[in-house]
């Protein structure tokens, strides 16, 4: 998505979607997920086959990395999926969720589970909303300080699938495992959805 936004910026903030796909050497249907995600985050608007920045989209591409993270973080927090996920993390023991817990939350959406989980983890890490502990395979809520800086494991923007420079999840140590009790997992998800 970030690459698409940078490209759109080079086209003065508005361009035909087919031309953007051509510039990216992609089929038009291959850029639809990035366009849709950018629209959900209110960074651009697609009307009659033309993508155009919103004021927020212009602010994002013109901002520093810190500004970009702050904008993405705030926009993610407005989405139903991230609201639900953050509520689940906040109410979960040790403020962490297993891969199974995350998959259960994602299963309540229309997204493809594997792709959605990877995107959730990557974008949430980038925006410093949470981190992923690969050793315990758990998503862990990031507590932000008053200065707005996150703890260890800050991430780069998520890369697109197949990109040469991957953005593998950080591997911080010390996340405490929580019970794998299905009733506990169900109660965490139910709390998040209420």
Task: Specify whether 173 is located in the same domain as 97.
Answer: yes
Contact (Cβ atoms closer than 8 angstroms) between residue 178 and residue 188: no
% of the chain beyond a pLDDT of 70: 70
Question: Whole-structure pTM over 0.85, yes or no?
Answer: no
Is 69 found in the same domain as 54?
Answer: no
Averaged pLDDT, 159-175: 34
Looking at the structure, tell me whether residues 175 and 118 fall in a common domain.
yes
Structure token pair of residue 49:
């086959």
SS3 content of the chain, % helix, strand, coil (to 5): 50, 10, 35
Given 40, 62, 84, the domain boundary residue is 62
Give the model confidence (pLDDT) of 83-103 as tens digits: 889 999 999 989 999 988 888
Structural domain containing residue 90:
65-193
**Tens of pLDDT along 99-150?**
888 888 888 776 555 666 788 888 999 999 999 998 998 999 987 533 344 4
Q: How many domains does the chain have?
A: 2
- Candidates 66, 87, 89, 57; CA nearest to 147 is 66
């Amino acid at each position: 998505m970030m690459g698409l936004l940078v490209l759109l910026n080079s086209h003065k903030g508005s361009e035909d979607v087919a031309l953007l796909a051509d510039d990216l050497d992609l089929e038009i249907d291959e850029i639809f997920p990035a366009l849709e995600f950018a629209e959900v985050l209110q960074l651009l608007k697609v009307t009659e086959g033309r993508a155009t920045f919103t004021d927020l989209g212009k602010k994002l591409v013109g901002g520093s990395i810190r500004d970009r993270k702050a904008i993405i973080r705030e926009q993610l927090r407005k989405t139903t999926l991230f609201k639900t996920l953050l509520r689940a993390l906040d109410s979960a023991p040790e403020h962490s969720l297993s891969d199974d817990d995350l998959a259960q939350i994602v299963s309540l959406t229309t997204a493809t589970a594997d792709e959605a989980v990877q995107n959730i983890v990557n974008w949430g890490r980038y925006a410093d909303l949470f981190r992923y502990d690969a050793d315990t395979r758990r998503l862990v809520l990031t507590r932000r300080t008053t200065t707005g800086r996150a703890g260890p494991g800050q991430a780069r923007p998520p890369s697109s699938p197949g990109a040469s420079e991957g953005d593998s999840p950080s591997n911080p140590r010390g996340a405490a495992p929580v019970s794998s009790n299905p009733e506990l997992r169900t109660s965490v998800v139910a709390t998040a959805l209420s």
